[in-house]
Amino acid sequence: MPRIAIRSLKDYTIKVFEKLGMLCENAEITTDVLLASDRRGIASHGVARLARYVNGIRSGIMKAEAEPTIVKETPTTLLVDGNAGMGQVISVKIMRRVIEKAKTNGMAAAVIRNSNHYGIAGYCAMIALEHDLIGFSSTNSAPLVVPTFGKDAILGTNPIAVAVPADKERPFILDMATSTVPRGKLEVYERLNKETPPTWATDEKGSPATDPGRVLKNLLERAGGGLLPLGGAGEDGRGYKGFDLAAVVEILSGGLGLASMGPQVYGKKGQPPDVSHFLAAIDPAAFCDIDEFKRRMDSFIRMLKQTPRAEGAQRIWVAGEKEWEAQDRNKEEVDIDEPTLAMLAEIGEELGIEVAF
């Protein structure tokens, strides 16, 4: 794939959001979340998603100028109305509030309702690392995942992210969908004209599907089928565990927020989707010496990595390691596929913004 300068991508993307009515600060937040995804090798949630946000703002389901408002607050909790604003802006600003509460009270959490797609779940969780806190981030989403033994999509990919600080080792970063893969992975395969493995999704009859375009079309039209929960179809791979993890995320976000859940999310065409997020932070210093905790994390991570390997295996990977190494490779440039570059050029032409990459 072509290697594109991050500085050029950042300048361009900020200009796009500003042209659509976002304040500079908010455009920078949203852009940083997208580029963080590309830098960490998660192309499904990077600038390839820009058209989604452009179309969302133009259609009115994403409010470019909206700011979050506090509905209810205690010393350790927040209930927030996102006012149909940009999910990245809302979640980052509220996560900062959660962190301040956790630093004072040991732990804190926030539920955000009436929001939009907020990018990679790991971004908000990782903000906590700057303060030696453990960060947690999860969100519900459009109904994309079929339940175990079900035919129609009813829950979102509902990701879970946990970021834990360490001392000499890289922080432990779990950032995972509760489905086998996120929808963005199918979008990548469709752009590259590749078939998907039959264990990723089902067609409108509930049978294994390998055509990502067909699955995506069915999801858009709610015609049946969808992504499989983590573990796959049926009980042999224990797919019900992924299905129920998605349900837990739904409860923590949409449930606690008394907001949309399951098929109600993105339930009214042309209306804001009422996506909900759950964010939390824990201060290890509330339980033990923070330096000792970080050293303990080092020992734990090394223990996992030094486990005797299976025959033929080269390495044991701990959560976040592949993304950290991708980030190291992508300090100045990132891989952007040709279809995405064409999409970015088209948006630039429509908005009168020069594409300098």
pLDDT (0 to 100) of residue 108: 99
CA 276 to chain centroid: 12
pLDDT (0 to 100) of residue 183: 87
pLDDT (0 to 100) of residue 158: 97
Number of domains in the chain: 1
Q: Within a domain: residue 38?
A: yes
Q: Within a domain: residue 54?
A: yes
Q: Within a domain: residue 206?
A: yes
Q: Within a domain: residue 105?
A: yes
Per-position DSSP letters for 203-249, written without gaps between them: -TTS-EE--HHHHHHHHHHT-SBEEPBTT-STTTTTHHHHHHHHHHH
Q: Distance between CA atoms of 321 and 149, rounded to whole angstroms?
A: 34
Q: Within a domain: residue 218?
A: yes
pLDDT (0 to 100) of residue 356: 85
pLDDT (tens place) for every residue of the chain, 357 residues total: 899 999 999 999 999 999 999 999 999 999 999 999 999 999 989 999 999 999 999 999 999 999 999 999 999 999 999 999 999 999 999 999 999 999 999 999 999 999 999 999 999 999 999 999 999 999 999 999 999 999 999 999 999 999 999 999 999 999 999 999 988 889 889 988 999 999 999 999 899 999 999 999 999 899 999 999 999 988 888 999 999 999 999 999 999 999 999 999 999 989 999 999 999 999 999 999 999 999 999 999 999 999 999 999 999 999 999 999 999 999 999 999 999 999 999 999 999 999 988
Domain harbouring 245, CATH code: 3.30.1370.60
Q: Within a domain: residue 289?
A: no
Residue span of the structural domain in which 25 resides = 3-284
Q: What is the largest CA-CA distance in the chain?
A: 57
Q: Two tokens at 316?
A: 């044991």
Q: Which of 88, 77, 97 is nearest to 46 (CA)?
A: 88
Are 114 and 79 spatial neighbours (Cβ–Cβ below 8 Å)?
Answer: no
End-to-end CA distance of the chain: 14
Are 226 and 150 spatial neighbours (Cβ–Cβ below 8 Å)?
Answer: no
Q: Distance between CA atoms of 191 and 6, rounded to whole angstroms?
A: 21
pLDDT (0 to 100) of residue 1: 84
Q: Within a domain: residue 198?
A: yes
Query: What are the beta bridge partners of residue 311?
Result: none
pLDDT (0 to 100) of residue 236: 87
Q: Within a domain: residue 255?
A: yes
